[in-house]
Amino acid sequence: MLLLFLAFFRLPAKADEGMWLPFLIDDALFEEMSRMGLNLEPEEIFSFTESSIKDAIVSFGGFCTGEIISDQGLVLTNHHCGRGRIQSHSSVDNDLLTDGFWAMSKDEELPNEGLFVRFLVNVVDVTEDIRSVIQPGMTEGERNRAIRAKSNELTDAASEGNHYTANVSSMFAGNYFYLFTYETFNDVRLVGAPPQSIGAFGGDTDNWEWPRHTGDFALFRVYTAPDGSPAEYSEDNIPLQPRHHLPISIRGVQENDFAMVLGYSGSTERYLTSYGIDYRLENMYPVRIDIRRRKLDILEEAMASSDEIRIQYASKHSGISNYWKNFIGMSESLKRLNVADSKRELEDEFAAWVAADSGRQDEYGHVIDDFRKVYDGLKGFNSHNYVFAEAMPSGPDVIRIANRFNRLNALYGADEIDPVNIADEIERLSGMTEAIYKDYNKGVDRQLWAAMFEVYAEYVPGEDLPDIFAHIGTNHGGDFEAYAQSVYEASIFADKESMQAFLDNPDAEKLATDPAFRAVRSVYDKYSEVNEGRGEYNTMLRRAERYFLRGLMEMKPEDYFYPDANSTMRFTYGSVNGYEPRDAVYYDYTTTIEGVMQKKDPGHHEFVVPEKLVELYENEDYGPYAHDAMVVNFITNNDITGGNSGSPVLNADGHLIGVAFDANWEGMSGDILFEHDLQKCINVDARYMLFVIDKFAGAGHLIEEMTIVE
């Protein structure tokens, strides 16, 4: 099966494209990397039996990547990946976001409940196992249920009698399947983070832009039980002794140097059709951009008014803002580069290839027409799913809080009341109260409630509006501010004290009639009803995508294909180089601390520069970390996406030279179509990180536990 799978891989026309599966490094791929300068054997990059670079790469919290950089379990990732944890330890009196944090001993490192890192242990090709349960004539529903049942059987077997977890991931739109086994560690402590004036320098203004001058990094440490096994937090735990850790190079980067990135790439859609692109441009991006902007306006005004609110909402604001700008960039880039037209050319070629053979017509004749039907059908839902997603579950906190009480409400409404189950559920909810309201402000949330219900009414047609909107019209004259005020005056979820008072003296009727709970149930129930109608189109889409990709592979046997990113480990290879974003403009491949000082603006919160950093710059006190200049960031042409934040950038010898943290504006459509001449991976230079740790923070003890190489 492995040889059959590798037959689908061909080297790209240019080496920068492709998020490759590291356990499928074939001879041709290895030879191409070696030609570009790689000095390693494939087994040194990825091996299941020997220590390899793979063993230093972790999924950080399931949303970013991290890497082990010492023999004491020190983890390097991005500042923005750790922002939520840094913020969780912050207060007005101890503002780690503004001031930074450095543990001067292991006793000072801060635990983070719920944070984990995950190591890849094993991968098995299970395509034939899955195919064995797929029978001719199955409906898509039957096919999916058969795959799910077989996948559960395989994952149960892989995790039986051990502490590993496993999952089956599909590749190539459900044409191939792999079983991934992981080892997860849940005691991960904050070790160090620069102030956000370094770690988030440039803020939203510079986000997704090059040139960049951001020290986007943070340090954590993995702890284990005394016997080295995964364990929950305990004072008795010890630092992880890893199978491999990455040496850090202070040699620096030069143009055309080989560069390799390993990480848990989140999601790409390289095989998205022109129909899908048009749908997004018309029905997805405008809605999500608009609603996110409305949320950001509310948060930014509130955050500017109070340090307490600024700290409370820092992580939420960052999450909303990051993809608000991403959606704008994606939309503009797809239009500017005429990506849909490129896709249409491929679809026309596919249609002609299918029409030329009766057997192909039987197998693939439905595909293009299915895509057309799918997206025509989805347009009839008026972007309801995107409006719901942006306005409700990721809108006011009270929406999410009230939604947590569904199970308690169901227990109260059961035919046979079980007091034990009810007591257990109340205890579970009580245990969450403190954490739920830590980063919550009633006034801010009330504003979000009013704005999000108003935007819901604007976008969703009357026949698809939940019945709560009739109540708003009848009882509040359609005044969403007045409606929000009434909800937050009466709801048990409006503040921590009200919720705890309810849990101390629970009442089924009070829950069922609570204005926030009634609104949540109304909105979610209507969403489920509307979404049911989308089901047939989603099913048709998955089938069309599977057949389309299978047909493309058959049509172009000499071309290269790689599976879309799906949060499994990938590696990409390329080189350090600059680019020409437009006519008569060239962007160099590095930025320096000189640029930080040029951007310095004490009156703009995104461009404040710490006085200590200014002093080090003026004295040129860079230690051994600068040669001709103190490099801050550099760019490569590695193919990355969301989830690669925090990924190590390695040189030809497997030494860490930087950490990936962003992509550039001109290549924003890259998740759908890789732009060879424009798409860039933006990285923090390893030397700048070491300089900040050593000279700025005075945390030289952390440098001492790393392996530094020239």
Which residue, among 237, 246, 121, 249, has the nearest Cα to 187 in the 3D structure? 237
Question: Is the bond into 211 cis (omega within 30 degrees of 0)?
Answer: yes
CB 573 within 8 Å of CB 590: no
- CA–CA separation, 27 vs 7, rounded Å? 12
Tens of pLDDT, residue by residue over 156-170, are 999 999 999 999 999
Q: Is there a catalytic annotation at residue 627?
A: no
At residue 28 the predicted structure's pLDDT band, cuts being 50, 70 and 90, is confident
Residue 441, pLDDT > 60, answer: yes
Domain positions in the chain are 2-7+20-73+80-207+221-246, 274-546, 570-709
Give the CB-side neighbour count of residue 702, counting CA atoms within 13 A: 32
Q: Which of 80, 213, 384, 655 is catalytic?
A: 80
Q: Which two tokens stand for residue 98?
A: 């503004």
Confidence of residue 13 (pLDDT cuts 50, 70, 90): very low
Residues of the chain with pLDDT > 90: what percent? 94
Q: Which two tokens stand for residue 85?
A: 């944890």
Q: What are the DSSP E strand ranges found in 237-286?
A: 238-239, 248-249, 258-264
Question: What integer is the mean pLDDT of 301-325?
Answer: 94
For 616-641, how does the pLDDT look when each residue is reduced to its tens digit (9 = 90+)?
999 999 999 998 899 999 999 999 99
- Cα gap 571→366, rounded to integer Å: 35
Which amino acid belongs to residue 421? N
Both structure tokens of 303: 């955050």
Annotated catalytic residue 80: yes
pLDDT tens-digit readout, 551-596: 999 999 988 789 999 999 999 999 999 999 999 999 999 999 999 9
d(CA 164, CA 326): 35
DSSP string, 591-623: EEHHHHHHH--TTSTTS---HHHHHHHHTT--G
Residue among 296, 499, 535, 266 at smallest CA distance from 402: 499
The amino acid sitting at 37 is G
DSSP states of 50-73: S--GGGGEEEETTTEEEEE-BTT-
Q: Determine which one of 274, 331, 645, 647 is catalytic.
A: 645
Q: Which of 216, 370, 445, 671 is catalytic?
A: 216
- 363, 551 in Cβ contact below 8 A? yes
Q: How far apart are CA 7 and CA 1, in angstroms?
A: 10
What pLDDT sits at residue 9?
Answer: 47
State how far the alpha carbon of 109 is from the alpha carbons of 101, 223, 269, 694, 696, in Å. 10, 11, 39, 17, 19
Q: What does the alpha-carbon distance between residue 617 and residue 75 come to, in Å, rounded to a whole number?
A: 27
Model confidence over 31-81: pLDDT tens digits? 999 999 999 999 999 999 999 999 999 999 999 999 999 999 999 999 999
* 170 flagged as catalytic: no
Report residue 15's pLDDT band, with 50, 70 and 90 as the boundaries. Answer: low
| Whether pLDDT at 690 is above 60 | yes
Residue 287 phi, psi (nearest 5): -65, -50
pLDDT of residue 47: 94
Nearest one of 664, 525, 519 to 591, comparing CA atoms: 664
Give residue 290's pLDDT. 98
Pairing of strands 585-587, 590-592: unpaired
CATH architecture of 570-709: Beta Barrel (2.40)
| Residue 347 pLDDT exceeds 50 | yes
Of 294-298, 589-593, 673-677, which range is least confident? Answer: 673-677
- 563 and 176 Cβ atoms separated by less than 8 Å: yes
C-alpha torsion 559→560→564→567, nearest 10: 170
CA distance to 72, 189, 191, 219, per residue, from 225 (Å) = 14, 14, 19, 21
Q: Is the predicted pLDDT of residue 233 greater than 70, yes or no?
A: yes
Mean of pLDDT over the chain:
95
Beta strand 248-249 with 176-185 is unpaired
Question: Can you read off the two tokens belonging to residue 485?
Answer: 């005020």
The whole-angstrom separation of Cα 657 and Cα 649 is: 6
372-393 pLDDT, tens digit each = 999 999 999 999 999 999 999 9
The distance from CA 142 to its chain's CA centroid, rounded to whole angstroms, is 31
Q: What is the pLDDT of residue 130?
A: 98
Q: Based on DSSP, count helices (H) and strands (E) in the chain, helices before strands.
A: 29, 22
Residue with tokens 């922002």: 83
Distance CA 522, CA 524 (A): 6
pLDDT at 10: 46
**For residue 91, how many other CB atoms are within 10 A of its CB?**
13
Residue 236 clears pLDDT 80, i.e. is over it:
yes
Mean pLDDT of 441-447: 98
Are 19 and 679 in contact, with CB atoms under 8 Å apart?
no
Q: Residue range 473-485: average pLDDT?
A: 97
CA distances to 69, 132, 168, 264, 523 from 151, rounded to whole Å, are 34, 12, 6, 21, 33
